[in-house]
A and B are shown apart, each in its own frame.
Chain A
Amino acid sequence: MIVPYSQVLVLAGLLFLMGMFCLLSRRNLIMMVLGLEIMLNASAVAFVGAALRWQHLDGQAVAIFIIAVAAAEVSIGLGLIVWIYRRTGTVDAGCIESDACRID
């Protein structure tokens, strides 16, 4: 094995924290969903690294499923964002919360 597991874990942890930071600091809904995606992919990286560590295929299978589930999550998330945009005219999370930028 070329890359030690601990380094894969550091990469995955950093990716996860970056995704979480994006989710918490951004106010644009699309960017928040993007942050969620990064968090999911961080877990996929960790699973693939673990599969390589143990020479065991289960982790790879989980990673493939994560990609599929993440696609479903994006489609639902974007669908909901479109629905929110039609109803409120904004994709800014703060605005929707406080009714600050109502269009009508």
Chain B
Amino acid sequence: MNWMIFSPEICCLATALVFLFLSMAPVDSRRDYIVAIALTGVAVCASLAGIHAQGELFHGTYRIDLFSQVFKSMLLMGLFLVVVISSGLNGIERRYHPEFYMLLTICTLALMMLVSAVHILTLYVALELSSYSLYILVFLRKGRDQGTSSGMKFFLIGASASATMLFGLALLYGATNAAYFRVLIEVIPGVIHQPEVILGLALALCGFFFKMAVFPFHFWAPDVYEGAAHQVAAYISTASKVAVIAVLLRMAALTGGASTHLVHFLAILAIISMTVGNLTAIAQKDLKRLLAFSSIAHAGYVLVGILCISPQGNTSAIFYALTVLLLKFTCFLVVVQVAFDGENIEIDRLAGLHRRSPIMALALMTALFGLAGIPPTIGFTGKLLIFTAAMEKGYFALVLIAMFNVVISLYYYLLVVRAAYLLEPAEGEGALAPMPGAGILAGTLVAAIVAIGIYPTPILELIRAAAMALG
């Protein structure tokens, strides 16, 4: 067995073990932070070095190809970025800091296994492992009111969604006698018109819709984003979303585009998610709730790419995963800096951000424009790819509705930008004192968002090859 191709996962597991031991040592937040940055940095390097690795492990239940490796690099970069903004970590009690890093790395490990899983069993175990770590992470929020009720809601909805998914997988297995995805991919198009196969697929997809916060499984998202610590919310909205996009692509590829029912089902969910997410976001006062509803809307856009079930659609969905990762993380970077005490922030508290910290205001503006899809940001390129893929398949109405939604979303993104740029700062609000290195990080992210937006070709080539590996 070739352990070299498993090295990113091993790095992640080793990091988790280190923090398991550190959690038993005396508390020292500074030490934990530095160790976490170093170890996750190593893991990112390992995943980038192994991006062209190929092979199968564990009796063919675990597939390593360009598709999975691209996603693993994105996941580890997400983990690394979230660890970087954890230097203050004031939303979580000091004695739980090693546990925070441990659960974060275990969750990333599970998500990495999720994108490589090609067997029902690996898929289920990886999904459960990642969910369980996230349940606890949400509960770790300091203060008795914040984490409890949202964590409870997250746990109950999450566990019931994964139970539903499992029942769907059982129906699929019962109908096809196939547990490997490569066998399912051959069998399913032939039996897709049996009701139990359609029901099984739809139920199996439910588990992932929950993780991605697609309507009707989106109720947890605003509460959890509000109730969890900023860093945890940043992780849920970036890394966790990226992994789910990968799994949804694999699941959608199973049908081979043979079922119009499934496409219609996905299209309806996409339309409702976009519309509900965008319309509800307009009414939000809390910045994190607003970001939660915007992720619901973005889940709808990604679904449009996924339901094309064509190489162009897959490419656009993978590219959009990268887009969401960069843009959402930049928003949360600003949230963490403005609310350094770990409390939730209202949009009004951003007033005068351009005076208090010009670089943070610039980062926020670029990220929000990116989310709204304004050129020359990466967000525009991502939306363009998705809409052209859908147009090629002839889903004109779907694209039109998505376009309307983009216009609606522009309104509330601009409200936030207005607060940051046009309102005067409140009395007594001096210059923002961000954590060391935050300015450089924000500058790098802004540069990346604009640079990939203007010249996406090299990354697009890589992603196109990855989409081909999906098969």
Contacts and interface: CB of A to CB of B under 8 A. Distances in A.
A23 B160 contact: yes
A12 B171 CA distance: 10
A77 B121 contact: no
A18 interface: no
Given A65-B124, A77-B159, A39 B173 contact: no
B125 A56 contact: no
A20 B206 CA distance: 14
Contacts of B164: 39
B148 interface: yes
Most B C-beta atoms less than 10 A away, residue of A36, A43, A58, A72: A43
Nearest to A42: B167
Contacts of B124: 62, 65-66, 69
B163 A39 contact: yes
Given A61-B121, A62-B120, A72-B132, A83 B139 contact: yes
Most A C-beta atoms less than 10 A away, residue of B144, B152, B163, B169: B163
Interface in A80-95: 80, 83-84, 87-88, 93
Most B C-beta atoms less than 10 A away, residue of A5, A33, A76: A76
A61 to B, nearest CB: 7
Contacts of B152: 29, 80, 84, 93, 96
A36 B170 CA distance: 16
Contact of A43 (B136, B139, B160, B167): B167
Given A46-B174, A54-B177, A69-B124, A40 B148 contact: no
Contact of B135 (A29, A39, A80): A80
Nearest to A19: B163
Most B C-beta atoms less than 10 A away, residue of A46, A72, A97: A46
B128 interface: yes
Contacts of A84: 148, 152
Interface string A1-43: 0000100010010001001100100000100110010011011
A65 B121 contact: yes
A96 B132 CA distance: 21
Contacts of A73: 128, 132, 159
A19 B170 CA distance: 16
**Which bracket fits the contact residues of A?**
35 or more
A56 B177 CA distance: 8
B419 interface: no
Contacts of A58: 120-121, 173, 179
B208 interface: no
B459 interface: no
Interface residues of B, number: 31
A56 to B, nearest CB: 6
A65 B129 CA distance: 12
Most A C-beta atoms less than 10 A away, residue of B135, B148, B156, B170: B170
B111 to A, nearest CB: 17
B255 to A, nearest CB: 20
B177 A96 contact: no
A73 B155 CA distance: 10
Interface in B144-202: 144, 148-149, 151-153, 155-156, 159-160, 163-164, 166-167, 169-171, 173-174, 177, 179, 196
Nearest to A95: B149
Interface in A57-72: 58-59, 61-62, 65-66, 69, 72
A10 B19 CA distance: 46
Contacts of B160: 20, 23, 36, 39
B128 A72 contact: yes
B173 A69 contact: no
A43 B192 CA distance: 21
Contact of A46 (B136, B151, B167): B167
A84 B156 CA distance: 13
A69 B122 CA distance: 12
Contacts of A42: 167
A50 B155 contact: no
Interface of A: 5, 9, 12, 16, 19-20, 23, 29, 32-33, 36, 39-40, 42-43, 46-47, 49-50, 53-54, 56, 58-59, 61-62, 65-66, 69, 72-73, 76-77, 80, 83-84, 87-88, 93, 96-97
- Cβ-closest 8 pairs across A and B: A50-B174, A46-B170, A39-B163, A54-B177, A43-B166, A58-B179, A87-B144, A43-B167
Given A23-B160, A76-B135, A87-B148, 19 more contacts: A12-B167, A39-B160, A39-B164, A40-B163, A43-B167, A43-B170, A46-B171, A50-B177, A58-B173, A59-B173, A62-B173, A62-B179, A65-B125, A69-B125, A76-B132, A76-B136, A83-B148, A88-B144, A97-B149
19 contacts: A9-B171, A16-B163, A33-B159, A36-B156, A36-B160, A43-B169, A46-B167, A46-B174, A47-B170, A49-B174, A50-B170, A56-B177, A59-B173, A62-B170, A65-B125, A72-B132, A80-B136, A80-B139, A93-B156
